Amino acid sequence: MEEIALRKEVQDWLELVGTADILVGIPSFNNARTIGHVVRAVQAGLAKYFPDCKAVLVNSDGGSADGTRDVVENAAIDDFYQILIPQRVPSFFKTATLYRGVPGKGSAFRTIFEIAEALQVKACAVVDSDLRSITPEWIELLLKPVYEGGFDYVAPQYKRHKYDGTITNSIIYPLTRALYGRSVRQPIGGDFGFSGRLASHYLSKDVWESDVARFGIDIWMTTTALAGNFRVCQAFLGAKIHDAKDPGADLSAMLYQVVSATFDLMETYYESWSNITGTTQIPTFGFEYAVGLEPVAVNLERMMERFSLGVHELLDIWRTFLPQETIDFLCEASQRKGDDFRFPDEVWVETIYHFALAQHNRTLGKEHLLKSLTPLYIGKVASFVMEMRDSSSEEVEERLDRLCREFEKQKPLLLEKWA
Amino acid sequence: MEFLQRLFIDPFNRFLDNLLLFLPNFLTALVIFLVGLLIGALLKSFFARLFRVVGLDGLCERAGMDQMLCKSGIRDPLSLLLAKIIGGVTVAVFAVIAVQTISVPAVERLLERFFLYLPNVFVALIILIVGYLLSNFLSRAALIASVNAGVRLSGLVGRFVRYVILIMSVTMALEHLGIGSETVIIAFTIIFSGVVLAFALAFGLGGRDAARDYLDRKLKGSVKDDADEITHL
């Protein structure tokens, strides 16, 4: 695979550092407001939990115009004593660099992987730059299973609001679980730990011009680790509170990139997932506790409108690959108003599997196909919100577990049609 | 006897002479045409393989054109379709040469005029095909994008895009064929300007409040959008 040459100043910096034990990467784009806190949390985490390790922090930036890189350069903990860390300065290096390649989170990660490989680090972690709830403990939880436990990949587990992470909850988590047989609760969480060996494995793949270079990177990392039989675990990090996403990144583009990356991986790893039945739990580290979460406003009326509009206008497109009974259901459901509306799991799973089959059979151009999924996804989210309005987080998890089992139940039908 | 000679035998002899003169030309033309058929078939096979090797079908698929072809009732992959066109054109060229070999002046003149005009027909046909494919592709893209943006008149947006592209391609094709070129362009300009003006008036007068709200939002950001706070990822 062609390697993107790192910038001259990074190469000089790498020569200065030589090798390292641990690397923490932070991808960013215009995150000056929050990245200072993230850098300080990382520094404190490294000082507290890895005092004897040589550690580096890499900020891989997409050309921020708000001084993000300056914030990273200047952010530091002034008084370790205040946060109950012995005044001992561990070997800690820091750099902020512009990444090269297709603009997106995936390209930022690629630069981090390249630096990790160059420094021959043992354990790496990546954390989002817009986090407000990150604590030094996140660094321990993401790195220790790799550094001391022999794991290759640590996926995050969070306490999130029941309406948050809806692409994860309704598509990516249940689909990944059904396909690869391991219950990774947040496969696209955004904050991961991984071994240097796995970073080199990632770099060996030629995916950096695809959707993996953008929003698809998270599911790609998780799936590659699962399908490659790397040792995978997850760590409970607490609440995930972060700044609102880039308002320019619209839902259909996000959905398209994440789902198309997931479906593409089904092609790549068919041999891996086709023989798997059932689900096994993966080891989970960390002390689970309840957290107070910020309320999430949902405009159900508008969601229903979007769903009905989609059914009205896009039915002809869906007719080319969805079964007739699904089409009949959609027509009938789009007439329903208020709390009567439900999008049953059986129909939803059938819909997702037929979208995957349509991409596999190239029934329609990929972008048109997956962007046309948006109104159906909004319908499923609306149904979920109505159903779970008064439910506790435990009840929501049970409900999601039912959805996962439906994905597993219908997997033989997917396999039959896939072949 | 002389009468019979003049009435039947002489004309018959002349016919025989002409036939003997014509037959070699006809046989030559037939051979040329058969050679054309053979070369056409060979070229079709060669180009079909070449296009497949260079990955034209994959490119077409990635651009979403395979679906457009499918929707247009064309089941062949693009590589085979282009190879068939090349083969067909080759056969047509040999057919012309064959007809010219027969040396019939009236046919020659007709053919000359026809074949001088033929490239225009060919280009116009390509314009129409590309226009049709493009109208399908872009109208679907516009439809999906406007549905996802929550535009209630999404169907209208999709149809508008389709018909604008179709009308434009027909106009271009007719202009290329030299059929009432100025009339077509003027008619197109009038219709298109009329549609734009109608939209402008409808938006500015009929939907004055909506226009004001929209401009307020765009220019001042003063209207608060009651957006969902769901984090999808």
Domain count, chain B: 1
Q: Choose among A166, A252, A258: nearest Cβ to B148.
A: A252
Between chains, do A309 and B145 touch, taking CB under 8 Å as contact?
A: no
* Chain A: closest CA distance from residue B150 (Å): 6
Residue B55 within any structural domain of the chain: yes
* Chain B: closest CA distance from residue A68 (Å): 23
Residue B191 within any structural domain of the chain: no
**pLDDT digits 0-9 by tens, B76-114:** 888 888 899 899 989 988 888 888 887 777 877 887 788
* Chain B: closest CA distance from residue A264 (Å): 13
Contact yes or no for B139/B159 (Cβ under 8 A) = yes
Q: Choose among B66, B144, B228: nearest Cβ to A372.
A: B144
Residue B221 within any structural domain of the chain: no
Of A25-29, A145-149, B53-57, B145-149, the poorest mean pLDDT is in B53-57
Separation CA B212–CA B218 (nearest Å): 10
The 8-class DSSP code of residue B224 comes to P
H or E stretch at A56 = strand A55-61
Tokens of A116: 């990790």
The interaxial angle of helices A393-418 and A173-180, nearest 10 deg, is 50
Among B residues 39-98, those touching chain A with beta carbons less than 8 Å apart: 61, 63-64, 66-67
Q: Residue B138 above 60 pLDDT?
A: yes
Separation CA A153–CA A142 (nearest Å): 9
Write out chain A residues lying below 8 Å of B229, CB-based. 244, 296-298
Between chains, do B61 and A362 touch, taking CB under 8 Å as contact?
A: yes
Closest CA to A138 of A151, A148, A128: A128
Tokens of A383: 């149904």
pLDDT of residue B72: 63
Q: Choose among A167, A299, A306: nearest Cβ to B226.
A: A299
Residue B23 within any structural domain of the chain: yes
Among B residues 179-218, those touching chain A with beta carbons less than 8 Å apart: none
- Amino acid (one-letter) located at A189: G
Contact yes or no for A205/A224 (Cβ under 8 A) = yes
Between chains, do B148 and A250 touch, taking CB under 8 Å as contact?
A: yes
- Amino acid (one-letter) located at A142: L
Tokens of A51: 């005092």
pLDDT of residue A195: 95
**pLDDT digits 0-9 by tens, B19-54:** 888 888 889 989 999 999 999 999 999 999 998 888
pTM score of the predicted model: 0.78
What are the helix (H) ranges across chain B?
2-4, 10-53, 56-62, 65-71, 78-101, 105-148, 154-177, 181-201, 208-219
A94: left (phi over 0), alpha (psi -120 to 50) or beta: beta
Q: Residue A135 above 60 pLDDT?
A: yes
Chain A contact present for B155, CB below 8 A: yes
Residue of chain B whose alpha carbon sits nearest to that of A215 = B233
- Amino acid (one-letter) located at B182: E
**pLDDT digits 0-9 by tens, A345-360:** 999 999 999 999 999 9
Between chains, do B144 and A314 touch, taking CB under 8 Å as contact?
A: yes
A37: which residues sit within 8 A by CB, 6+ positions away? A131, A132, A134
Residue B63 within any structural domain of the chain: yes
pLDDT of residue B26: 86
* Chain A: closest CA distance from residue B146 (Å): 10
Chain A contact present for B24, CB below 8 A: no
- What does the H/E/C string look like for A115-161? HHHHHCCCEEEECCCCECCCCHHHHHHHHHHHHCCCCCEEEEEEECC
The 8-class DSSP code of residue A179 comes to H
For residue B220, what pLDDT band results from cuts at 50, 70 and 90? low
* Chain B: closest CA distance from residue A49 (Å): 30
Q: Residue A210 above 70 pLDDT?
A: yes
pLDDT of residue A327: 95
Separation CA A304–CA A89 (nearest Å): 56
Residue of chain A whose alpha carbon sits nearest to that of B144 = A372
* Chain A: closest CA distance from residue B137 (Å): 9
Expressed as residue numbers, the domain containing B31 is 1-103
Closest CA to A220 of A187, A179, A173: A187
Residue B130 within any structural domain of the chain: no
Between chains, do B231 and A245 touch, taking CB under 8 Å as contact?
A: yes
Residue of chain A whose alpha carbon sits nearest to that of B152 = A309
pLDDT of residue A8: 79
Separation CA A188–CA B231 (nearest Å): 12
Chain A contact present for B131, CB below 8 A: no
For residue A89, what pLDDT band results from cuts at 50, 70 and 90? low
Strands A153-159 and A232-239: parallel
Residue B98 within any structural domain of the chain: yes
Q: Choose among A215, A303, A371: nearest Cβ to B148.
A: A371
Of A54-58, A83-87, A344-348, A373-377, the poorest mean pLDDT is in A83-87
* Residue of B133, B143, B148, B159 best to disrupt the A interface, most CBs of A under 10 A: B148
Residue B113 within any structural domain of the chain: no
* Residue of B60, B62, B147 best to disrupt the A interface, most CBs of A under 10 A: B147
Write out chain A residues lying below 8 Å of B233, CB-based. 165, 167-168, 188, 190, 215, 218, 245, 254, 258
Closest CA to A166 of B228, B151, B148, B147: B228
* Residue of B144, B152, B224, B226 best to disrupt the A interface, most CBs of A under 10 A: B144
Between chains, do B147 and A367 touch, taking CB under 8 Å as contact?
A: no
Q: Residue A15 above 80 pLDDT?
A: yes
Chain A contact present for B231, CB below 8 A: yes
Write out chain A residues lying below 8 Å of B147, CB-based. 306, 309-310, 313-314, 372, 374-375
Of A184-188, A214-218, A282-286, B157-161, the poorest mean pLDDT is in A214-218
* Residue of A309, A316, A366 best to disrupt the B interface, most CBs of B under 10 A: A309
Chain A contact present for B225, CB below 8 A: no
Write out chain A residues lying below 8 Å of B157, CB-based. none
Of A377-391, B9-23, B153-167, B211-225, the poorest mean pLDDT is in B211-225
pLDDT of residue A291: 77
Between chains, do A367 and B64 touch, taking CB under 8 Å as contact?
A: yes
Residue B60 pairs with which residues in a beta bridge? none
Q: Residue B60 above 90 pLDDT?
A: no
Q: Choose among A166, A190, A312: nearest Cβ to B232.
A: A166
Percentage of chain B exceeding pLDDT 90: 20
* Chain A: closest CA distance from residue B131 (Å): 18
Higher pLDDT, A91 or B36: B36
pLDDT of residue A248: 47
The mean pLDDT value of chain A amounts to 89
Closest CA to B184 of B193, B171, B195: B171
